[in-house]
Amino acid sequence: MDERLERFLAAHGGPGAAPTGPDALAAACRDALGADGAVVAVAAAGRWRLPVGVSDPVAGAAERWRFTVGEGPSSRAEAGAEPVVADEARLRRSWPALHDQLRRHTAFRSALALPLLAGAAPAGTLDLYWRGPRAAGGVDLAAAQRVASLTASRLLAPAGTGAAGPAWLDAPSAQPRQRTWVAISMVTQVLGLDDADALAVLRSHAYARDRTLEQVADDVVAGRASVGALRRPAED
């Protein structure tokens, strides 16, 4: 286990200590495992995934494009409650849309997704990214799983007495995703769709225009784009 992460968590997660900021926690995970970027995400509001900590802006961009295409190692890691290692060849083969967006919009070429467990149940993921096409394959998985376990123990701990909810609900990286949920609700009401189909409409609109889903959702919520226009094909 990397002592840097243990010292970080001990300093920020002990009794009476200030709560660990989720972005700083993501950065500590990145540094402890020698990655180039990290995202900490939790399952919230039913099946929706909420990114609560990003190590840096590029990692944040990777998460936004992963959400836009709706695929990636993190979904499999959470569903199977086990690590998923994806070098560039596997990314290209198993998640081609994500591979394309990572190549076009980031420097990341390989990834490792680790489940965050609440007891035995998956409750989120720690997603790590590397610039090297095979870098993810060189990670000590036992050490990586210990990092994920320590992360989950701090992030998923019950809120203190009188707390309105987990502190990470107000994390800067979580707020754009929460606005996406608002946009989904608007689409369901106007177009008469269920949540899954409303999300698919937003994704299709975003992907066709090379925009992130969160950018499109922001436009819908702010009134810059009409819900009725979402089903129109992109202009040539």
CATH code of the region 3-156:
3.30.450.40
Query: Quick check: 199 and 191 in contact, CB under 8 A?
Result: no
Q: Give residue 45's pLDDT.
A: 60
Structure tokens that stand for 156 in this block? 């998923």
Residue at 202: amino acid letter: L
Q: 62 pLDDT band (50/70/90 cuts)?
A: very high
- Nearest Cα residue to 29 out of 193, 169, 143: 143
End-to-end CA distance of the chain: 53
What is the distance of C-alpha 58 from the center of its chain?
A: 12
Q: Give residue 6's pLDDT.
A: 65
Please report where in the chains the tokens 């070429």 appear, as a residue.
Answer: 109
Burial class (CB in 10 A: 0-12, 13-18, 19+), 68: buried
Which of the pair, 188 or 44, is modelled with greater confidence?
A: 188
- d(CA 188, CA 230) in angstroms, rounded, equals 12
Q: 55 pLDDT band (50/70/90 cuts)?
A: very high
Q: What is the DSSP letter of 165?
A: S
Whether the predicted pLDDT of 97 surpasses 70: yes
Q: Give residue 148's pLDDT.
A: 93
pLDDT 10s digits, 3-53: 666 665 555 444 444 445 888 889 989 988 999 999 999 987 656 788 999
Whether the predicted pLDDT of 194 surpasses 90: yes
The residue-averaged pLDDT of 91-99 equals 97
Q: Give residue 121's pLDDT.
A: 82
- Please list, in sequence order, all residues whose beta carbon lies within 8 angstroms of the beta carbon of residue 84, skipping any fewer than 6 positions away: 73, 74, 76, 77, 112, 113
**Could you tell me where in the chain the CATH 1.10.10 domains are found?**
175-231
CATH code of the region 175-231:
1.10.10
Query: Quick check: 183 and 191 in contact, CB under 8 A?
Result: no
Structure tokens that stand for 66 in this block? 């992963």
**Could you tell me where in the chain the CATH 3.30.450.40 domains are found?**
3-156
Provide, rounded to the nearest whole percent, the portion of the chain with pLDDT above 70: 83
**Model pTM score:** 0.86
Whether the predicted pLDDT of 164 surpasses 80: no
Least reliable range by pLDDT among 74-78, 82-86, 152-156, 169-173: 169-173
The residue-averaged pLDDT of 192-201 equals 92
Q: Give residue 167's pLDDT.
A: 65
Q: What is the DSSP letter of 120?
A: T
pLDDT 10s digits, 115-154: 998 887 888 999 999 999 998 888 999 989 999 998 888 8
Do strands 37-44 and 84-86 pair parallel, antiparallel, or not at all (unpaired)?
A: unpaired
